[in-house]
Amino acid sequence: MKQKGIPVQKNDVLNVHIEDLTHEGAGVAKIEGYALFIPEALPGEEVEVKVIKTNKGYGFAKLVNVITESPNRVEPPCPIFRQCGGCQIQHLSYEAQLVMKQKQVKDVLERIGGIYDVPVHPTLGMEEPWQYRNKSQVPFGEKDGELIAGFYQKRSHNIIDMDSCIIQQEENDLAVQEVKSIAARYGIRAYDEEKHRGTLRHVVVRQGKKTGEMMIVLVTRGKELPNKKNVIDDIRESLPSVTSIVQNVNPKRTNVIFGETTSVLWGEEYIHDYIGDIRFAISARSFYQVNPEQTKVLYDKALEYADLRGHETVIDAYCGIGTISLFLAQKAKKVLGVEIVPEAISDAKQNARINGFDHVDFAVGEAEKVIPWWYAQGVRADVLVVDPPRKGCDAELLETILAMKPERVVYVSCNPATLARDLKVLEAGGYRTKEVQPVDMFPQSTHVECCSLLIRKD
């Protein structure tokens, strides 16, 4: 029985036309104005679907059959694409992925930000949009008494065992398989979420794209690692690229990967990598972009938008381990960075030292607290760069930007929706969004990063 005002009901089988894609990559069909979201359906297609759920304003359906296929449809090369939740749009050609991401940014700016007539440039993509991730973080489990390692199935915590992932560096995949084999050899049990027992929770592999240095992080439930010496020796012998083996202890009932305690079992505390000419030291828990090739594209754009001539003071809010700060330091007179994570600031200071930058200072704290305090002390920024988490900028920080009146604001965003919300506030406060550049940091997924330039209207 159909609900009032809803033209479809659960288990209805329908032929529909796909009009658009959601920001999560699902096709959108309209029945008498009622939206149905259909994963794996593409714009322009006529498809047969089965309704699986209805809400008041929208519903969900399962793709049964493609009647008329989009010219942009491709066969996903990953054998577990339909089970794994890691990639959402492998079935869409890469050229069409880039167009989709540009459209997504433009639509959100208009709908949420009320920002029209601002150039949203074509998305900057990759020549080779595969095997780009320099970091693998893989949960471990058990099936039929055997160790398994892979990714979580869509909308579940069931692990899909796998040997490789086609968006991760091949060496990282091999490292995960070696660790799985070594752990099995010494009878190390995987962590059981439900019973809260077992040892090995995750293995995290990080590798410097330019240096080749590799770090293996074993995330365990407790401090005890059975056959520790043998495990270390076997990892070193089977993986010659490894320069660091680290243990992280996470004793909590949580799906957060890392715990608070990290110790080096063998080798160095850091591995190193380069983005452009800047060298970075990366620790086990450092935030470092997983696609260094596209990170350079993004940061080059931020540097271009900052338009530094050598006399400017620049503030980098949410500076992390100093990645953008050090790029800006190549051309700025002074750079001030702020970040809430103390370990990240420790890494940032080290990164400034190893690059010989003595005109960069970093502070621990919330950007929305530290930057207003700097402003009260008389600090003025010619250029202010923000690269906030997905939730966007805090309102207090936006108010401080408006009070400080930097000539330029460069907004790096990983979430077009909160970008649009924040640009609306800055535009109302006296800035004009000059242009927005989407960058594809995560091919085969729906995520898109943006670099936006704002200049003062006066």
Compute the mean pLDDT over every residue in the chain, rounded to the nearest whole number. Answer: 95
Q: According to the model, what pLDDT value does residue 86 have? A: 83
Give the count of beta carbons closer than 10 Å to the beta carbon of residue 26. 22
Set 165, 319, 393, 414: catalytic member: 414
Residues 318/388, Cβ–Cβ less than 8 Å: yes
- The stretch 124-149 carries a mean pLDDT of 94
What whole-number distance in Å separates Cα of residue 411 and Cα of residue 275? 20
pLDDT at residue 162 is higher than 90: no
Q: According to the model, what pLDDT value does residue 3 have? A: 72
Q: According to the model, what pLDDT value does residue 423 have? A: 98
Residues 205/175, Cβ–Cβ less than 8 Å: yes
- Tokens in use for 378? 């008389």
Per-residue pLDDT tens over the stretch 305-330? 999 999 999 999 999 999 999 999 99
DSSP string, 75-127: --S-TTTTTBSS-S-TTB-HHHHHHHHHHHHHHHHHHTT---S--BPPPB--S
Q: What is the largest CA-CA distance in the chain?
A: 71
Confidence of residue 4 (pLDDT cuts 50, 70, 90): confident
Q: According to the model, what pLDDT value does residue 160 have? A: 87
Confidence of residue 2 (pLDDT cuts 50, 70, 90): low
Task: Report which of 338, 334, 278 is spatially closest to residue 308, judged by C-alpha positions.
Answer: 334
Q: Does domain 99-127+291-456 have CATH number 3.30.365.10?
A: no
Superfamily of domain 13-68: Nucleic acid-binding proteins (2.40.50.140)
What whole-number distance in Å separates Cα of residue 53 and Cα of residue 60? 5
- Tokens in use for 133? 């991730």
pLDDT at residue 1 is higher than 70: no
- Tokens in use for 356? 């010989």
Query: What's 400's DSSP letter?
Result: H
What whole-number distance in Å separates Cα of residue 404 and Cα of residue 389? 22
135-275 CATH pick, 2.40.50.140, 2.60.40.60, 2.40.50.1070, 3.40.50.2300:
2.40.50.1070
- Domain ranges for the chain: 13-68, 99-127+291-456, 135-275
What whole-number distance in Å separates Cα of residue 248 and Cα of residue 262? 4
Residues 200/182, Cβ–Cβ less than 8 Å: no
Question: C-alpha 372: how far from its chain's center?
Answer: 28
312 Cβ contact partners less than 8 Å away, ≥ 6 residues apart: 306, 332, 333, 334, 382, 383
Helices (H), 186-289: 228-238
Beta-strand pair 261-267/242-249: antiparallel
Residues 189/198, Cβ–Cβ less than 8 Å: yes
Instruction: Please tell me if the domain spanning 99-127+291-456 has the same topology as the one spanning 135-275.
Output: no
Radius of gyration (C-alpha) of the chain in whole angstroms: 24
Q: Based on the residue annotation, tell me whether 84 is a catalytic residue of this protein.
A: no
Task: Report which of 37, 28, 29 is spatially closest to residue 55, judged by C-alpha positions.
Answer: 37
Q: What percent of the chain is predicted at pLDDT more than 90?
A: 89
pLDDT at residue 338 is higher than 90: yes
131 three-class SS: coil
Give the count of beta carbons closer than 10 Å to the beta carbon of residue 404. 17
pLDDT at residue 85 is higher than 90: no
Give the count of beta carbons closer than 10 Å to the beta carbon of residue 60. 17
Burial of 255 (0-12, 13-18, 19+ CB in 10 A): exposed
Helix, strand, coil percentages for the chain (3-state, nearest 5): 25, 35, 40
Beta-bridge partner residues of 283: none
Per-residue pLDDT tens over the stretch 182-199? 999 999 999 998 899 999
pLDDT at residue 111 is higher than 90: yes
Residue that is written with structure tokens 């700097």 in the block: 374
48 Cβ contact partners less than 8 Å away, ≥ 6 residues apart: 13, 14, 15, 63, 64, 65, 66, 67
Beta-strand pair 431-439/408-413: unpaired
Confidence of residue 154 (pLDDT cuts 50, 70, 90): confident
Residue type, 167: I
What whole-number distance in Å separates Cα of residue 61 and Cα of residue 53? 7
Residues 402/428, Cβ–Cβ less than 8 Å: no
Per-residue pLDDT tens over the stretch 365-395? 998 899 989 999 999 999 999 999 999 999 9
62 Cβ contact partners less than 8 Å away, ≥ 6 residues apart: 38, 39, 49, 50, 52
- The stretch 283-306 carries a mean pLDDT of 94
Query: What's 73's DSSP letter?
Result: B
- Tokens in use for 366? 């919330």
Confidence of residue 158 (pLDDT cuts 50, 70, 90): confident
Task: Report which of 435, 207, 424 is spatially closest to residue 305, judged by C-alpha positions.
Answer: 435
Helix (H) or strand (E) holding 241: none
